[in-house]
């Protein structure tokens, strides 16, 4: 993929952070509703809680999870971070992929079942523990991912180290070649011989 221009990178990062942290907020809301549905003795409250969860599930889970995943992948492929060059990015990629699959295929189904159950009778508000457990696990995961996004721990992967070594070798070769090339009137300094722009050791600049 072509590297992102500075404005494109900033815009994508903005969307990525807004959507990903929004996903965290959505999950916190689902957890509160799941707890309300499980703990209340009032069928009316349980019905309202599971119906509200269904509305969030139907409207928001798919777009938010997919947008977080895709904007993250674009940021990775369009910058020197890469997908598999840094451990924190690679970890986020797999965790988000799993969380997206689980949210779309398992969590939404469980919410739908709870909403249909409360619609059929007052008894049906019976606790649905998985509607507390799933958002709890997901919330922990998103908080963890927010933390590693900001701290960027663990350094490069083996593949990332090889890519950095290869980039260093190319840079050294270019510098040596430039130093050896005599500058005479017959070898004008053109754009082609100008120093290549390189990225820093850390891709965050
Ligand atoms: C729930 C899922 C995710 C959350 C909560 C999340 C959160 C964040 C946050 C808060 C940042 C800003 C960090 C900073 O600028 O200091 C960030 C940046 C970033 N994220 Fe994610 N992210 C998620 C998923 C992903 C995925 C799936 C990928 C792709 C593999 C990804 C790749 C990146 C990259 C490469 C950056 C750095 C961009 C840059 O500095 O140019 N993220 N993420």
Domain ranges of the chain: 6-160
Q: What is the pLDDT of residues 24-62, one digit of tens each?
A: 999 999 999 999 999 998 889 999 999 999 999 999 999
DSSP 125: G
- pLDDT above 90: percentage of residues in the chain: 70
N- to C-terminal Cα separation, the chain: 19
140-166 confidence digits (pLDDT tens): 999 999 999 999 999 999 999 998 898
| pLDDT band at residue 96 using 50, 70 and 90 as cut-offs | very high
Distance 53 CA to ligand 1 centre (A): 26
Distance 12 CA to ligand 1 centre (A): 10
pLDDT tens per residue, range 156-193: 999 999 988 988 898 888 888 777 765 544 433 333 33
Please work out, in degrees rounded to the nearest 5, the angle formed at the alpha carbon of residue 39 by the alpha carbons of 35 and 41.
140
- Whole-model pTM: value is 0.84
- Within 6 Å (CB) of ligand 1, which residues are found? 9, 13, 16-17, 20, 23-24, 68-69, 72-73, 75-76, 79, 81, 83, 89, 92-93, 96, 142, 145-146, 149-150, 204
Task: Give the ligand 1 atom nearest the CA of 150.
Answer: 16
Give the DSSP letter of residue 85. Answer: S
Token pair in block for residue 124: 């049906």
Nearest alpha carbon, ligand 1 atom 37 = 75
Q: What is the pLDDT of residue 191?
A: 36
| Closest C-alpha to ligand 1, atom 7 | 146
Residue 173 and residue 100 in contact, taking contact as beta carbons nearer than 8 Å: no
Determine the average pLDDT of the residues in 98-125.
Answer: 87
- CA 35 to each of CA 45, 54, 147: distance values in angstroms, whole numbers, following the listed order: 11, 14, 25
CA of 50 to the centre of ligand 1 (A): 31
Nearest-CA neighbor of 124 among 116, 134, 133? 116
Collapsed DSSP state (helix, strand, coil) of residue 181: coil
Distance (Å, rounded) from C-alpha 132 to C-alpha 134?
6
* Nearest of 67, 92, 68, 66 to residue 145 by alpha carbon: 92
Q: Which helix (H) or strand (E) holds 46?
A: helix 43-56
């Amino acid at each position: 993929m072509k590297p992102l221009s500075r404005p494109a990178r900033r815009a994508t990062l903005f969307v990525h952070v807004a959507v990903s942290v929004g996903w965290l907020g959505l999950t916190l809301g689902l957890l509160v509703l799941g707890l309300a549905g499980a703990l209340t003795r009032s069928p009316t409250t349980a019905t309202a809680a599971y119906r509200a969860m269904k509305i969030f599930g139907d409207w928001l889970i798919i777009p938010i999870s997919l947008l977080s995943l895709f904007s993250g992948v674009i940021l990775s492929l369009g910058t020197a971070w890469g997908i598999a060059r840094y451990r924190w990015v690679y970890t986020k990629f797999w965790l988000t992929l799993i969380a997206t699959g689980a949210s779309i295929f398992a969590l939404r189904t469980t919410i739908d079942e709870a909403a249909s159950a409360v619609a059929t009778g007052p008894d049906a508000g019976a606790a649905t523990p998985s509607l507390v457990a799933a958002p709890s696990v997901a919330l922990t995961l998103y908080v963890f991912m927010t933390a590693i996004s900001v701290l960027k721990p663990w350094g490069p992967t083996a593949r990332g180290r090889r890519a950095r070594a290869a980039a260093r070798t190319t840079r050294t070769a270019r510098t040596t070649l430039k130093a050896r090339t005599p500058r005479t009137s017959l070898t004008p300094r053109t754009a082609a011989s100008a120093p290549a722009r390189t990225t820093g050791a850390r891709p965050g600049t």
